[in-house]
């Protein structure tokens, strides 16, 4: 008689998040300001379906550098890499559900069918209550390429498009500040993508 195999259940982020995954230095993608390009701060809150900020979420970002090139072998564009720019970052939310990154505004990158994508940042979220990571994008309000971006323009409802657009909050310490709340469900829910 053979044993019946039972798969291990999927689990959410546990209570030990801040013990093993908190690395504040990972929230600065600019090598302490040495990266080329326009420095920005991307900040916001992760909010659950009840409108309550989550103090134990992980927000990860991946983006192109200021020239529009990813530090990845599949990006074969003839654009320069920046040795002082790390295209990946992680920020854990604080007690008020706030995350914050220091980075550069990404350059436009090519999309499918020889289109040009608007500057954007790819985002992944893990938090309690989530069995799987959520994936979304951050675009920048007022960017001239937003209306023609193939991903953003594939969303017909302007209210849903708006959930992917960060708003400018001026400057602080010489960097443009962009605000982007991530609403996990309910009113104003952020658009998430399946991968």
Q: Look at residue 170 and tell me if it is in a domain.
A: yes
Q: Which CATH number does the domain housing residue 81 bear? A: 2.60.130.10
Q: Look at residue 140 and tell me if it is in a domain.
A: yes
For residues 29-41, one letter each, b for 16 or more C-beta atoms within 10 angstroms of the residue's C-beta and e for the rest, the string is bbeeeebebebbb
**Which residue range(s) make up the domain with 84?**
17-183
Output the pLDDT for position 131: 78
Backbone angles phi, psi at 139, to 5 degrees: -110, 170
pLDDT digits (tens, 9 = 90+) for 115-137: 899 999 999 999 877 878 999 99
Output the pLDDT for position 73: 93
pLDDT digits (tens, 9 = 90+) for 59-101: 999 999 999 999 999 999 999 999 999 999 999 999 999 999 9
pLDDT digits (tens, 9 = 90+) for 12-49: 555 545 555 566 788 999 999 999 999 999 999 999 98
Mean of per-residue pLDDT scores for the chain: 90
Please count the structural domains in the chain: 1
């Amino acid at each position: 008689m053979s044993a019946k195999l039972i798969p291990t259940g999927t689990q959410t982020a546990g209570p030990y998040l801040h013990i093993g995954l908190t690395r504040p230095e990972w929230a600065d993608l600019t090598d302490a300001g040495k990266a080329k390009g326009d420095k920005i701060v991307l900040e916001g809150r992760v909010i659950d379906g009840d409108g309550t900020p989550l103090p134990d979420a992980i927000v990860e970002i991946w983006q192109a550098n200021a020239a529009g090139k990813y530090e990845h072998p599949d990006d074969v564009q003839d654009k320069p890499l920046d040795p002082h720019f790390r295209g990946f970052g992680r920020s854990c939310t604080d007690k008020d559900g706030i995350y914050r990154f220091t980075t550069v505004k990404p350059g436009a990158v090519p999309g499918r069918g020889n289109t040009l994508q608007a500057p954007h940042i790819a985002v992944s979220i893990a938090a309690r209550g989530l069995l799987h990571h959520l994936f979304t994008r951050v675009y920048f309000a007022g960017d001239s390429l937003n209306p023609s971006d193939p991903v953003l323009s594939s969303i017909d409802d302007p209210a849903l498009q708006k959930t992917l657009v960060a708003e400018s909050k001026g400057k602080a310490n010489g960097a443009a500040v962009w605000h982007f709340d991530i609403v996990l469900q309910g009113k104003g829910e952020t658009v998430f993508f399946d991968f």
